[in-house]
A and B are shown apart, each in its own frame.
Chain A
Amino acid sequence: MAKRIVVDPVTRIEGHLRIEAVVENGRITEAYSAGTMVRGLEKILIGRDPRDAWAFTQRVCGVCTTVHALASVRTVEDALGITVPKNAELVRNIMYCTLMVQDHVIHFYHLHALDWVDVVSVLSADPVETSKIARSISKWPKTSPAYFKAVQDRIKTFVESGQLGIFANGYWGHPQYKLPPEVNLIGVAHYLEALEWQKEIVKIHAVFGGKNPHPNYLVGGVPCSFNMDEVNAINAERLNLVGRLITEAIQFVEHVYIPDLLAVAGFYKDWASIGGGVSNYLSYGDLPTRSYNDIDSFKFPRGAILNRNLNEVHEVNARDTEEIKEYIAHSWYRYTGGDGTGLHPWNGETQLNYTGPTPPYDYLNVDEKYSFLKTPRWKGHAMEVGPLARLLVAYAQGHEEVKEVVGEALARLDVGPEALFSTLGRTAARGLEARLAVHWLKGFYDELVGNIKAGETRTFTPDKWDPDTWPQTAEGVGMTEAPRGALAHWIKIKDKKIDNYQLVVPTTWNGSPKDPKGQRSAYEEALIGTPVADQNIPLEIIRTIHSFDPCLACAVH
């Protein structure tokens, strides 16, 4: 007997996501992913100064803060033909890697972990045993029995207070929780440690961008200046702070995140065959080591994979108006040319057209429009984007560093590469990527220090700052790889003002509703076939959905 279950709000994500899933005989047979909040930023941007766009688009999301700012300044620089100085590129890379690492750690511990870690079971853990396990998997110093005992006591007092706060009504005791109490205790201890640590690493953003969330960016470079002989600029003291934070970040990722990830994954190998989803992967690539205009120099390569065929990586061209298109057959928008058409973002439109049920409602009308996300397609294909897509594209292109960390993890877990196409694979890919990023972070930092040592301190290219130097019309596209996947902004400039501005965002790719042909996007497709043990408890649904790290403010904007 088929039953449609609703999960709304999906929590431990960013934003307002609603999942409706049809369950038949304990498995999901159809799924609908809906974004239920919209702000209309693409409309708000029209008519504004292109140099301000980064600040507006940055407010699309405070979780992946900076990536929209980065995409935006690149978009405007692309339109106006600006190349930023080497140091500006390095500072941007440093800020990028910082976000990548911080966002992935937060996702693993604070957004995803409670899907796998049973907090209540911690009460029955043996601190001595816990310490033994912790020491066997990592060199992290905080592993004494006394330490774990203190954490356990803290949880005990908390639970006994009767006020469970953020842990209230969790799915504790569900048979799908498979970790021994001791591993759960390690998880909870590191939940707390990660919470403390994440506020440290973002200080790198504060040094270069003045604050986090929402550090400052600048069209043409970065706003901070280097002056080794000035207290009012980025000097040795500031750089030393960044250096120390990077060292600590490497420690945390290597000795906490990665060991925990592998330990937990070891108990959930069944999830390596659940939640595979669409079998196409897209990455725009990022982290230029020479210049943003030199794609071959990217740490994350650009490309697309179809049908899980790792032997062929397709080229991706964001300027080709036939490659990337957004559809609205099931989205609450209207297109001038008809709702069945697809539009390349340069010609994109954002006209709100809510046709859903009048609230309060129990179910969405899923046969018609049912989400505020538009539906992007690459050459007509539904694509998955994100850490997994990035690793696969790099892996398929024979990227050495990526092959090494992926190979090592697969060996440790004793699974083959096909395990990557799954809920577990997605979660693992995120950790492996954080590991790569944190070492690249160090590399970029060292390079920056080297540049300064060699006397190169420029951070800004001034020649196109003045709008009087701009052509009457211009168009550009700026691409990046956000933590959740391929992100690009498209701009049209006319008479020094924004004439059109469109964002196609990672979660738009992954979480969108069906396209006019009825093809599912990644969330919906990944849910198909997922077992649901108890229809009243959506644990399995949120596991797979969380493996994508949804961000709905991004997706809809």
Chain B
Amino acid sequence: MQEKGYSRRDFLRFCAFAASIAGIEASGLNTVVAAFEHTPRPPVLWLHFQECTCCSESFIRSSHPVVADIVFDVLSLDYTETLQAASGHQAEKCLHDTMKTYAGKYIVLVEGSVPLANDGVYCCIGGRTAKDILLDVTQDAAAVIAWGSCASFGCVQNAKPNPTGATPVHQILNKPVINVPGCPPIADVMTGVVTHLLVYGRTPELDSRGRPKAFYARRVHDTCYRRPYYDAGMFVESWDDDKARKGYCLYKMGCRGPVTYNACAVTKWNGGVSYPIQSGHGCIGCSEDKFWDNGPFYQHLASFPGFGIESTADTIGKVVGVATAVGITAHAITTNIRKKSLIDEHREESVEGGEI
């Protein structure tokens, strides 16, 4: 450990971090250290499909632990098209060597969705389809992590009309998949999930959608520092208005924090510097399934499909409400005309007041 140019103190700090996210107390730290020191670095294969590679970019922004420490000391990143030295068949050999040597012991990280339309021709690597590669590589995997909203939910390419049949990983595989959604996910959440897996050799506790509870159990809204403004009813009403400059709640600007599960407001981004709301823009719900089809992003509910931009349920509701009122009025008028005889009959039946 000491020889790696990074001090034992650094390593212990990393272990303490890993342990803290895993929820073990400091007294259990030694076992964690031992677990790392006596195992070879677990092999990891990172697959790239329909993606924008921002999940990889996010991963390398990890601040604790820093990515060099992960890649050199924690795990063995045997395949990732973004960073690996070898190209072409030399790269493919890396993939196949690990699959063979470590069958059942390697971890597969998937970035990007898998296009299923047209027999998968919309994403091919080395002449094979993404689907083919995914099924092949995950066959003997010890665990599968779906990075980002692409691999977890399909993300932007899965938005209507989904021209390539972009499909999330869990819908293709018959094995459990850890979903780490976000577009991209927070760097420290990504490394947090990976280290959790490696410390225990088993998956972190997941919710019904396969997301680690540690980071996806609460809505952004539940931990947002602007929440007091929400409860007070103090809202930004136009970009850069007086209220925006005081940092009021962004609900009326379309903030999706109330319907979005993510750790942004707690873990924050880029080593804790900020998160979307802190920098003035509402949450767009980037870790939620189908968030792209929930637009426009600047109203907290979606436009109604088939109607124009900004025609929300309210626009339509108002129209229906007014139509109802008009209908009632019309009905009342015709009643008085058409049913005049009936009403007159009632009047005739009626007994003069005071007689009884």
Contacts and interface: CB of A to CB of B under 8 A. Distances in A.
Interface of A: 6-16, 36-41, 43-44, 48-49, 51-52, 55-56, 59-63, 65, 110, 114, 119, 150-151, 153-154, 156-158, 161, 163-171, 192, 195-196, 198-199, 202-203, 205-216, 218, 220-221, 223-227, 230-234, 241, 352, 354, 356, 358-362, 372, 457-460, 462, 465, 467, 495-497, 537-538, 542, 553
Nearest to B131: A359
Interface stretch (B13-21, B24-32, B196-204, B270-278): B270-278
Given A206-B279, A232-B247, A359-B128, A168 B274 contact: no
Contacts of A241: 273
A220 B72 contact: no
Contacts of B77: 165-166
Contacts of B273: 203, 206-207, 241
A233 B246 contact: yes
Given A12-B87, A41-B156, A225-B244, 5 more contacts: A202-B61, A206-B269, A207-B273, A352-B118, A361-B124
A360 B127 contact: yes
A330 B281 CA distance: 42
A166 B226 CA distance: 42
A214 B184 CA distance: 8
Interface string B150-173: 000001110111111010000000
Closest 7 CB pairs of A and B: A62-B54, A232-B247, A40-B163, A170-B85, A150-B5, A210-B276, A210-B279
Counting chain B residues whose Cβ lies within 8 A of the other chain, the interface size class is 35 or more
Contacts of A207: 273-274, 279
B309 A49 contact: yes
A44 B295 contact: no
**Majority secondary structure, A binding face:** loop
B41 A163 contact: yes
Nearest to A39: B157
Interface stretch (B45-53, B206-214, B327-335): B45-53
A199 B271 contact: yes
Interface of B: 3-6, 40-41, 43, 48-58, 60-63, 66-68, 71-72, 75-78, 80-88, 90-94, 97, 118-130, 132, 155-157, 159-164, 166, 183-184, 186-187, 226, 238-240, 244-247, 264, 269-271, 273-281, 284, 286, 292, 295-298, 303, 308-310
Contact of A9 (B91, B155, B156, B271): B91
B340 to A, nearest CB: 46
B184 A62 contact: yes
Contacts of A158: 4, 72
Nearest to A163: B76
B304 to A, nearest CB: 13
Given A38-B122, A38-B164, A167-B85, A214 B72 contact: no
A63 B88 contact: no
A425 B82 CA distance: 23
Given A359-B129, A467-B309, A538 B88 contact: yes
B85 A168 contact: yes
Contacts of B126: 8-9
A199 B63 contact: yes
B167 to A, nearest CB: 12
A227 B246 contact: yes
B5 A151 contact: yes
A235 to B, nearest CB: 10
B270 A202 contact: yes
7 contacts: A10-B88, A13-B81, A163-B78, A166-B85, A169-B94, A227-B246, A460-B240
Contact of A153 (B3, B90, B239): B3
A352 B122 contact: yes
A208 B276 CA distance: 9
Given A153-B5, A169-B93, A359-B128, A39 B85 contact: no
A358 B127 CA distance: 9
A10 B92 CA distance: 11
Nearest to B286: A214
B239 A212 contact: no
Contacts of B80: 166
